[in-house]
Amino acid sequence: MSTYLFLVFVSFIVNFALIVPFINFLYHLKFQRVAQTTRDIFNKPTPIFDKFHEHKKGVPVGGGILLIVTTLVLFSLSYLMFFLLHKKIASNYAAAASEIKILLFTFISFALLGIFDDLNKIFFLKNRQFFGLRFRHKLILEIILALIVSWWMVTDLKIKFINVPFFGVYDISYYFILFSTFVIVAFANAVNITDGLDGLASGVLVIALASFWVVARSILDVPTSLFIGTWLGGLIAFLYFNVFPARIILGDTGALSFGATFAVVGLLLGKTFSLPIIGGIFVIEVATSLFQILSKKFLKKKLFPVAPLHLFFQLKGWEEPKIVMRFWIFSLLFATLGLMIAFLK
């Protein structure tokens, strides 16, 4: 266990040392949040959202880029170290290489989608009507990527089962592909939606990832343990600079990648029912947004004054740090409950 804790510490130190020069580099590239009138998926202005995000103009966007690069490098080096020292690389699956392939493909592919959207928002669409990729275009691309990942889970790792606590294990065959695709896309967007307040998404993700790290270590899954450890250390360093007032923002690059990969980690560990509980804050955030969209679409009226949930509390007059810290507290409670379910026999 000490080896994995040391890995988290090394990842923290490396990212902590690099993040300030990286922030300065983003300023040099003018890779910063721009002032722009945003619109929802119905092409209507969102003045409340714009009002509460106006002060974030000029903050560098791209924290996810650094974390993705450092996580990939440190994970590769740590895995190589295990191999050279002839340490046993145990895995839940016979094909450990496929497990790594799925993790890295999700991490990188959703990041590429996110960086394309970030580039559009900052450089290419400043004078256009829409903010970044259109929602339906991004959703289609997310579904395609998630289908690829889900197909590999079923064909390479033979994951076709869902463990329902107290009821047993059920083989859902190739329907797992559809189920997994939905979960991956949902969490990719959930983390992206949650990343609206300084320190909110990154703080909740630190708590949720730490929970899955405990699960990965308990079942002795080395590849996933190494990956989460390197990722977690970087996230903690990032959180130091992301708390209010943020000096750097994840951007879609990090939010989409981290949300999708978080879902994949939960699915690979076989904790299907723990996943939405450990990630409970993300589920609530995306659910409030989804219900708002459906209400506007079919009922022609708002279900909530604003959505997602954190924006509702801002509208109520809560200060940003208060909302974030209280969400962290509930995230800890969700993580505790999720771990209890994860370890049920």
Confidence label for 325 from pLDDT (cuts 50, 70 and 90): very high
In the predicted model, what is the mean pLDDT of residues 57-61? 92
Measured torsion, CA atoms of residues 89, 95, 101, 107, in degrees rounded to the nearest 10? -70
Q: How far apart are CA 315 and CA 47, in angstroms?
A: 12
Do residues 110 and 256 touch, judged by C-beta distance below 8 A?
A: yes
- Show the domain range for 70: 2-342
Do residues 170 and 192 touch, judged by C-beta distance below 8 A?
A: no
Do residues 117 and 132 touch, judged by C-beta distance below 8 A?
A: yes
The predicted pLDDT at position 134 comes to 72
Q: Report helix, strand or coil for 157.
A: coil
Mean pLDDT of the chain: 91
Confidence label for 227 from pLDDT (cuts 50, 70 and 90): very high
The predicted pLDDT at position 129 comes to 40
Closest to 285 measured CA to CA, from 179, 198, 185, 191: 191
**121 or 282: whose pLDDT is higher?**
282
- Give, for 169, the enclosing helix (H) or strand (E): strand 168-171
DSSP letter for 34, please: P
Give tens-digit pLDDT for 123-150: 765 444 444 567 788 899 999 999 999 9
The predicted pLDDT at position 44 comes to 74
Q: How far apart are CA 82 and CA 100, in angstroms?
A: 14
Give tens-digit pLDDT for 244-290: 999 999 999 999 999 999 999 999 999 999 999 999 999 999 999 99
Give tens-digit pLDDT for 27-43: 999 998 876 667 667 66
Do residues 143 and 181 touch, judged by C-beta distance below 8 A?
A: yes
The predicted pLDDT at position 131 comes to 46
Amino acid making up residue 2: S
The predicted pLDDT at position 239 comes to 98
Non-local CB neighbours of 98 within 8 Å, separated by 6+ positions:
152, 156, 157
pLDDT-above-90 percentage for the chain? 72
Inter-residue long-range contacts of 24-28, CB under 8 Å, 24+ positions, other chains counted: 26/60, 26/61, 26/62, 26/248, 27/60
Confidence label for 87 from pLDDT (cuts 50, 70 and 90): confident
In the predicted model, what is the mean pLDDT of residues 40-48? 72
Q: How many domains does the chain have?
A: 1
Confidence label for 212 from pLDDT (cuts 50, 70 and 90): very high
Give tens-digit pLDDT for 147-167: 999 999 999 999 998 888 777
